[in-house]
Structure 1
Amino acid sequence: MTRTAASGSLVLGEIAGATELVGAIVQRIADGALSDGDRLPSSRALAEQAGVSRGTVVRAFDELAAAGFIVAQHGSGTRISDGAAVAARAGARTRGVAPTPSTPDPAPRQGRSPRDLRPGIPDAALIDERAWRRAVRAAAGGMAGVNPWEEPSPTLVAALSGHLRRHRGIADAQPLLFDSSRSAVAALYAAFVDASPGRSAVVHIEDPGYRGALLMARDQGLDVRFHAADPDGLSTAALGDDPAIVFTTPAHQYPLGHRMSVERRVALAEWAGRTGSLVIEDDYDGEFRYGVAPLPALVTLPGAADHVAYVGTSSKSLAPDLRVAWCVPPAGLRRPVERWLAVHRRGPSALPADALGEYIRTGAMDRHLARAARVYSDRRMRLVTVLGEHCPELVVTGVEAGLHLCVLLPGHDDEAVVGALSERDWRTRSLSSQCAAEPVPGLVLSYARLHGRDADAFGASLREVLTGLALPTR
């Protein structure tokens, strides 16, 4: 039997806003006053009880649902999710998760090597297989009579609109669907060039940076300008006053992992508006952050939507094999991007797109992201800890968000380090391989599939390799 939360059992002290209400509910779950399956009061009733507006309660519910603590079902009200009590008692919270050794580390699936630390591949073993199978069955059942020439997957478009609002603060988004983020970037490049006839298109890219953006720019013959990656993000002082394209990964710079500061975000959006430029915001793994407050997506800043294109993908949150990505272009470029899609036919396949839409619509995606964030946070801290124990002299960057971090190796040949680690059965990626203008030695390491029993082994292997390569030569 479902238990309804008793009146007065939710609020701790004075509630001033959504953040306090979220904290009070999670604390009540941790204390045992609320249990898995308990039904919460309606947003209207809880607003009266807490002395806040109904909108405040709705925002709190959205945050709790996104983190997996509650689930709303049509006709059944809002309930505490299964597993919420365990998560709350383990220290999980909605705004970042404190790493704790109590987080269970699921066993790796057969055929998945936990010794592969190359970035770009999440742990598919964290996906709720039953929920995903239900989503696939629902998608397959709805495909009869579908016209393949129509816009793909309105189910996913609608689900993504709500997902982007809850997780990234993007209101009223109508995303266009692609088979990869590279295709989305290529379409945006082409759309900007088409809108600026007779002008040589310049693309500003951070170095080291995402190689896919560079390859797409060179494929279209664009003039690429490189800028050394800065811990605070790209500075507009180096961009000039002419219209141009800027490609950036502000939530978790690839590959160094820096988060662009609020000041640089605002300055970049203002620069784009002043110069008539296009900023491509690749939010490839922005849904994962650890112990830090979320920074606003560039596209959500005042006036930015007219000049910032938002690109996202399922490849980091679920699996690359889905081949589903999305783009929210500025209104002025939407038609050119749609034409590019129609000509190049680079949209996703219907079945995985519809399945992903169902997965998001039913709340399974929010629950998955909450669970994955807890596990990835634990794995991240394990890797950071062993690096500090075995290689305390090394600088580690990019630990606040995403699924990878970067280890700087000044004075080392990072390709030689990668080769030596490979001989010890560790697959890694060199930082210099992600550089175009100025090579920077280091390692780009994913912790998404690094299980606890292997973290210490990797730290020891890296220490052995660095010690061996540092031996003086005659």
Structure 2
Amino acid sequence: MLPDVSGASELVEAIVDTIADGGLVDGDRIPSSRSLAQQTGLSRGTVVRAFDELAAAGFVVSDQGSGTRVSSGAGQAARAGARTRGRSDAPPEPTVAPRAGRSRRDLRPGIPDATLVDEREWRRAVRAVAAAGMAGLNPWDEPSPVLRAALAGHLRRHRGIAAADPLLFDSSRSAVGALCAVFAARHADHGPIPFHIEDPGYRGAVLMAREQGLDLRFHPVDPDGIDVRLLGDAPGVVFTTPAHQYPLGHRVSVDRRVALVEWAVRTGSLVIEDDYDGEFRYGVAPLPALATLPGGAENVAYVGTSSKSLSPDLRVAWCLPPAALRRDVERWLAVHRRGPSALPADALGEFIAAGSMDRHLARASRVYSDRRSRLVEALSNECPGLTVTGVEAGLHLCVLLPGRDDDAVVAALEREGWRTRALSSQSSRHPISGLVLNYARLGARDAREFGATLRAVLGRSAS
């Protein structure tokens, strides 16, 4: 029986201490990650990270089909004082107190589980950058060559975008604002430039378009993606999240993808493809980025960010504008100084170049897939009549609540300790009632408890 533990490092220490005390001997089978997660209350991803650390240090070995066992010689090593990291009684390294993240009961979308990032690999990347010292360059004039080179390979491997030379921003919202401003200036003689967006849709993009004086056009969400027949023939800007429509989570069909790019080519329009969380997919094949389709390179601006794959703390995003707009976007960056700080940008570049990002995405995808499945199962068990959308990708899903006041449901859930987001709050013209739920940090027990709480809240509101 393991003592109470609150994280991967404590679980590692507890298992090694158990080996040293003889509670586990060489060759003993260790409970599965799922079993230990249930026993300790930790997420399964946290337990897997602990197993990875134990295996790397030689305390355990995993055999296909026979689970994880204590390695030969592990007991002797543990009794001799060997550990996976420095002894706990060693003088601690100077550090700052860890910042508290969101509560696990905060299911509002937008925040990943940053604890899934391998601390050692991230610290190695930061140390490598810090060791190089200050360069004395303006990040808006001389953006991180380390990150730009690393991103070129990353986008080629994960999104099929060849020969990428990304421009760096402090957020995807800044990139959208720059693209709207540049396109509007290029077409000033056409009058107000249409800005087409699905509704419900990403509110940040609406704010950026409104700030640049574009003519906002809201289109009802279609499960297959935006219908080009609604866009007219005037040159304009289309904002889309085709890998995982925000917030409903639909994936734009191949036919609609092709039709949208063809429309942009025919009308001289700009499509902004926001790939905000498209790196996480569950049981479905990746669809090609719009920028890779015929005509896409000349009419599609690809926007990506580290805020969902790693953490919004970094404030690093990137944009691949069409060649005709690139110089103007670079000037906008220089004037508005909305590039990322050099240290986090270079550290992210080192993290990607070392292969740490690929390993993180593989590990995080497994964890998020498990948490998503648990939430879907809890909703199915507790609220079987509800429709759930957006489960194939990303970090959030939607629960539809037709005929109900979703703001009232959100308020009732908050009184029970759960923070959620009303789906109708993401609409301007075509509201849909429902909840937008982020499962990135949701443990198995939390999922069951949330499902039961939602059932009780809906039952009270119906009575």
Q: TM-score, normalised by structure 2?
A: 0.78
Contact 1:202 / 1:244 at 8 angstroms: preserved in 2? Answer: yes
Per the alignment, in what secondary structure is the counterpart of residue 404 of structure 2? coil
Post-superposition CA distance 1:405-463 (Å, at most 9, x none): 00000011000000000011001000010001022110000000001111100000000
Contact 1:418 / 1:429 at 8 angstroms: preserved in 2? Answer: yes
The equivalent residue for 2:155 is 164
Cα–Cα, structure 1 residues 407 and 87, in superposed 2: closer, same or farther, change >3 Å?
A: farther
Considering only CA atoms, is the larger Rg found in Structure 1 or Structure 2? 2
Fraction of identical pairs, as percent: 72
Distance 2:295 2:62 in 1: 42
The equivalent residue for 1:140 is 130
Gaps of 5+ in 1: 1-79, 92-107
Paired residue type of 1:449: R
Matched, 1:130 2:120: yes
Post-superposition CA distance 1:133-158 (Å, at most 9, x none): 01011111223334226422110000
The equivalent residue for 1:94 is none
The equivalent residue for 1:118 is 108
Per the alignment, in what secondary structure is the counterpart of residue 189 of structure 2? coil
Matching of residues 75-94 of structure 1 within 5 Å: none
Matched, 1:447 2:439: yes
Distance 1:167 1:256 in 2: 23
Contact 2:228 / 2:259 at 8 angstroms: preserved in 1? Answer: yes
Paired residue type of 2:452: A
Paired residue type of 1:422: E
Distance 1:86 1:175 in 2: 40
Contact 1:207 / 1:229 at 8 angstroms: preserved in 2? Answer: yes
The equivalent residue for 1:182 is 173
Contact 1:205 / 1:247 at 8 angstroms: preserved in 2? Answer: yes
Cα–Cα, structure 1 residues 88 and 177, in superposed 2: closer, same or farther, change >3 Å?
A: farther
Per the alignment, in what secondary structure is the counterpart of residue 198 of structure 1? helix
Distance 1:112 1:444 in 2: 16
The equivalent residue for 2:238 is 246
Q: 2:146 aligns with which of 142, 152, 155?
A: 155
Per the alignment, in what secondary structure is the counterpart of residue 227 of structure 1? strand
Matching of residues 32-47 of structure 1 within 5 Å: none
Post-superposition CA distance 1:97-117 (Å, at most 9, x none): xxxxxxxxxxx9965421111
Paired residue type of 2:150: A
Distance 1:134 1:464 in 2: 47
Post-superposition CA distance 1:54-97 (Å, at most 9, x none): xxxxxxxxxxxxxxxxxxxxxxxxxx9x9xx9698799xxxxxx
Cα–Cα, structure 1 residues 88 and 113, in superposed 2: closer, same or farther, change >3 Å?
A: farther
Per the alignment, in what secondary structure is the counterpart of residue 234 of structure 1? coil
Distance 1:264 1:112 in 2: 37
Q: How many residues align?
A: 374
Gaps of 5+ in 2: 1-55, 68-97
Post-superposition CA distance 1:353-409 (Å, at most 9, x none): 000000000000000000000000000000000100010110000000000000000
Matching of residues 59-74 of structure 1 within 5 Å: none
Post-superposition CA distance 1:303-333 (Å, at most 9, x none): 2110000000000000011100000000000
Post-superposition CA distance 1:277-303 (Å, at most 9, x none): 000000000000000111111101122
Distance 2:127 2:274 in 1: 31
Matched, 1:331 2:331: no
Matched, 1:466 2:446: no
Contact 1:178 / 1:184 at 8 angstroms: preserved in 2? Answer: yes
Cα–Cα, structure 1 residues 109 and 394, in superposed 2: closer, same or farther, change >3 Å?
A: farther
Matching of residues 2-401 of structure 1 within 5 Å: 112-148=102-138, 150-199=141-190, 200-401=192-393
Per the alignment, in what secondary structure is the counterpart of residue 271 of structure 2? strand
Distance 2:235 2:63 in 1: 49
Distance 2:456 2:271 in 1: 43
Per the alignment, in what secondary structure is the counterpart of residue 140 of structure 1? helix
Per the alignment, in what secondary structure is the counterpart of residue 454 of structure 1? helix
Distance 1:447 1:88 in 2: 29
Contact 2:184 / 2:214 at 8 angstroms: preserved in 1? Answer: no
Distance 1:269 1:87 in 2: 48
Runs of 4 or more, structure 1, over 4 Å off, are: 85-91, 108-112
Q: Which moved more, 1:193-202 or 1:366-375?
A: 193-202
Contact 1:109 / 1:125 at 8 angstroms: preserved in 2? Answer: no
Cα–Cα, structure 1 residues 195 and 143, in superposed 2: closer, same or farther, change >3 Å?
A: farther
Paired residue type of 1:397: T
Per the alignment, in what secondary structure is the counterpart of residue 283 of structure 2? coil
Per the alignment, in what secondary structure is the counterpart of residue 411 of structure 1? coil
Cα–Cα, structure 1 residues 163 and 263, in superposed 2: closer, same or farther, change >3 Å?
A: same
Contact 2:184 / 2:193 at 8 angstroms: preserved in 1? Answer: yes
Q: TM-score, normalised by structure 1?
A: 0.76
